[in-house]
Amino acid sequence: MPRARRSDVPIGAAWPNAVGAVIEPGRDALPTEATQQRIRGFLLALVVIGVAGLIPELVLLKHYESVWQVAPLVILVLALVVSALVWRRPDPRTLNAFRVVMGLCLLAGVAGVVLHAQGNLEWALERDDTLRGWPLIWKILRGATPLLAPGAMLQIGLLGLVYTYRHPALQRGPHLEPETV
């Protein structure tokens, strides 16, 4: 039997989700509700794993010498608590609390990058006050405090917000209203 040429095979047969794929009648191109629920579960698991990894890391690094250093620890503990609440009961109240804490993770990540950059700048100028331009930027990027480490907080916040995006428990509409008799 002759082998089928690539041009003889419909695009959708080999790669059903490929661009230009022909969708068979009765088959939905979008993920099913069960698939979306599974993806949400994976996203929530990534948030919890990230938080559970960052808490001991910050404690081992003694990241609690000032209020600014304690803030990420407090936010991460809150993230762990609201993640458990959302996992247990994903209703609008818990999801909105989760969103607030994920927003705090984003803010803490941005503030952390700024604070780490300021600390590295001060450290670099204390050692050599003649630094300017690229050598100074290089010292800031490679300083004693890791400049991009707070990015983990940003990542957790973004993953958490993606988890809540179009969450079924947040959807409103007449189909979700209780029936009146």
The per-residue pLDDT string of the chain (181 residues; one tens digit each, 9 = 90 and over) reads: 555 555 554 555 555 555 665 656 666 566 678 888 899 999 999 999 999 999 999 999 999 999 999 999 999 999 999 999 999 999 999 999 999 999 999 999 999 999 999 999 999 899 988 889 998 999 888 888 888 899 999 999 999 999 999 999 888 755 554 444 4
Instruction: Please write the tens of the pLDDT for every residue from 57-85.
Output: 999 999 999 999 999 999 999 999 999 99
Q: What is the pLDDT of residue 156?
A: 97
CB 71 within 8 A of CB 105: no
Q: Which of 167, 170, 168, 160 is nearest to 83 (CA)?
A: 160
Sequence-separated (6 or more) residues with CB below 8 Å from residue 97: 82, 85
CB 87 within 8 A of CB 44: yes
Strand, coil or helix: 21: coil
Measured distance CA(4)–CA(103) in Å, rounded:
53
Q: What is the pLDDT of residue 143?
A: 86
Q: What is the pLDDT of residue 180?
A: 45
Instruction: Please write the tens of the pLDDT for every residue from 133-145.
Output: 998 999 888 888 8
CB 156 within 8 A of CB 79: yes
Q: Please state whether 22 falls in left (phi above 0), alpha (psi between -120 and 50) or beta.
A: beta
The two three-digit tokens of residue 118, written as one number: 């300021």
Residues composing the chain: 181
